[in-house]
Amino acid sequence: THRVSWTAWLCLALAASAVADPPAPRSAAPAALQWMTPAVEAPRVSYHSFESRAAGTRVSYHLYTPAAYAREPDRRFPVVYWLHGSGGGVQGIAPLSRLVDDAIEAGKVPPFLVVFVNGLRLGMYVDWKDGRAPLETMIVQELVPHIDARHRTLATREGRLLDGFSMGGYGAARLGFKHPDKFRAVSIMGAGPMQETLDRTPRASRKQADELLQEVYGGEQAQFRNVSPRRHATDNAAVIARDSLVRMVIGSRDETYGANLAFHEHLVALGIPHDWIVVEGVGHDPLRLLRSSGDAHWAFYRRAFE
């Protein structure tokens, strides 16, 4: 029996890291928004920032470039936009970039760039109701054009793949399904919150749920539903079914399994083709999920970039 949990933001793992940052302190005052993260030092990973009009400040991101990027100066490359889980995701950049680099060097997947998006500690990849954190606008309208202008990308929807774990899986689903004209492929891993209401679960108190609902969604369940992956999949089902590649990956022991199963069934009911991959014996652990998925993970990337 699996317990349903919306607590992508309370899970012990960051996106692509089995070790979480300490929980953010609770305060009645709004938390500071960390638009500039610390720089991560890792092979083939560089640190960048750009001026965001939406955020009203500079916003950082990290970029992985494969060895072929330097060897072939006239070549353009597809891009994976990686959306991290709660906590900021900085700790996950080095291990995930090594995993990608090993797969590319082994010939499991063609070379591609990875943009490690700054989604804030609890940004939810949505424009906040009060306007303080316009994450969606920053990513779709500013970061993507910036990447295409500054780096040698395949600057079309066919050259872009959204991937993410936990809160990032939720973000990949909602951004990919809302903007199918921008992203051809959508990978949804261990995603949450995927259910229809932001409510108390075994891993979060009602107070914590209410705080997140208030800060990001203006305290309105209707707003949470209106910006949800479920709503965007429903609104754009015909386009997604015709033009997009979609997959869901979940561990059989992940507490978000039930909510992900329900979302999978929602996509089936909408007629949206997608891969549904259940990795046996794995909980809410992104690195183990990726490694245990074996070639299925890179097979989806190959299909997306063929």
Per-residue pLDDT of the chain (306 residues; tens, 9 = 90+): 333 333 333 333 333 333 333 333 333 345 589 999 999 999 999 999 999 999 999 999 999 999 999 999 999 999 999 999 988 899 999 999 999 999 999 999 999 999 999 999 999 999 999 999 999 999 999 999 999 999 999 999 999 999 999 999 999 999 999 999 999 999 999 999 998 898 865 456 678 778 889 999 999 999 999 999 999 999 999 999 999 999 999 999 999 999 999 999 999 999 999 999 999 999 999 989 998 988 889 999 999 998
Cα separation, 42 vs 217, whole angstroms: 35
Q: Which of 254, 94, 280 is nearest to 188 (CA)?
A: 254
The single residue listed with the structure tokens 């979480």 is 20
Cα separation, 65 vs 46, whole angstroms: 8
Q: Which segments of 139-220 does DSSP mark as H helices, in order?
A: 144-150, 167-178, 206-217
pTM recorded for the entire structure: 0.90
CA dihedral of residues 127, 230, 6, 94 (deg, nearest 10): -60
Cα separation, 60 vs 80, whole angstroms: 17
Burial (Cβ within 10 Å: 0-12, 13-18, ≥19) of residue 39: middle
